[in-house]
Structure 1
Amino acid sequence: MASPLASDDSLVATLRSAGCVFAEEEAAILRDCARSDAELATMLERRCAGEPLEYVVEWAEFHGLRVEVTPGVFIPRRRTEFLVDQAIALSPDDAAIVDMCCGSGAIGAAIAAAKPGAHIYAVDIDPRATACARRNLAHAAASVYVGDLFTPLPASLRGQVDVVVANVPYVPRGEIGLLPAEARDYEPIDTLDGGPDGLRIAARVIDAARGWLHPDGHILFEISDPQAETAAAILASTGFRARIVDDHELGATVAIGSR
């Protein structure tokens, strides 16, 4: 009996039968990453069982970079590249930038690539995420901290931050079950669950950011389109000038608060 890995066509067919929409692209990635037929077989089995491709190969493409992503760490989405673009546009060349709830550090790494003179302060409460972020930010001017929101940052940074960029969990708790199985079954729920309205953590970040931002600073975070009005109201009630920007092609919406 011929092996399902005998040809690219059979590899694609196996992935397609497992429900992989982009079977051709995934087959090429798996074959390129596997160091042996045995490893390819294992990777194919994991992918066909539903595990996200990014966990199987331990990297994701994000904003032109190959970012390391290990199992248990939030997988950066392509739509979040729009958040990165907004942060880059608002950041001075020598900015102090806080990548809050940094996960793999993908946002910080992408900003650092565009703004090599900036210093990235990446924070996450999960040590698995910060271990991954340290590797992704190893060649940038960056410091990585484990802790709850701004708590672990050095006190000397208060009032000096130019930009806080945060891809906080923003899925309303009641909608977690509607997410694709790859997300709800494999990614940590606390990287997705934003509380009853999806904005519980965002509101905490906004409130705390006031004491850390420079008088001309900005806070940016990703939301869903239905959350835009509420997000703007939270920013305004906390003393920020609020605006909402979006990219319909990427399906991305970003809330921006300026001092």
Structure 2
Amino acid sequence: MPPNPAAAVSIRGLLKRFGDKVAVNGLSLDIPVGSFYGLVGPNGAGKTTTLNMVTGLLRPDGGIATILGRDVWSDVNAVKRTIGVMPQPDEIFNRLTGMQLLVYCGMLRGMPRVQALQRAGDLLTAFDLSNAANVMVADYSAGMTKKICLACAMIHSPRILVLDEPFESVDPVSSANLKDILIEYVSTGGTVIISSHVMALVEKMCTHVAVINRGVVCAAGTISQVAAGEDLEERFLQLVGGRHGAAHIAWLDGGAQ
């Protein structure tokens, strides 16, 4: 089947090898516009590799990926203008202050400085970072760094947000605020794609989910379709396998005897 031009993201037969290892093995998936889409899978399943190929960060060995009907690799720069990719903490300039980093990201996207300053201020307020606006990012906590990374991805108001483990190391209060911001963004027609290992979070927040294992999609659809009447985590374990009885370690005990 050809890619779906009406989808936010449409993937057909995506393939990536690293030496002898096949990381993504003919993966196909459609992500609807306006969805809150979760990609879940065990470590090494191919989630991050897939996202890197879809967002123009890693060239595939085969297959097609389109963003809003546009082939990613035929005009990668045009595609990148429509998406926001959350950077990892080691990928940002952490010797800048939070305000400087956001203004830099905005101007890098072609915004006038005045507009970048205004949007940076709005994001710092929304993410409870106003008091740290003039603090060097290198001095931020892990949770604060995660929030500034998400703000960097949002400053140009992209149509699609791609977030890899966005709530890792974020405290419950900040996590709740971030969820509210993302849910509001989706309600305006934006599309959020998150990669996560936390099934409870995916089940609560996402409208759709795809279970990926060994570089292929095991199941995809709405949360209820994939869960098929069961708890999503239990269904996930059924699909990917690998669960086994607890190993007996003779010397490991609670000291009761």
TM normalised by structure 2 equals 0.32
TM normalised by structure 1 equals 0.32
Structure with greater helix percent: 1
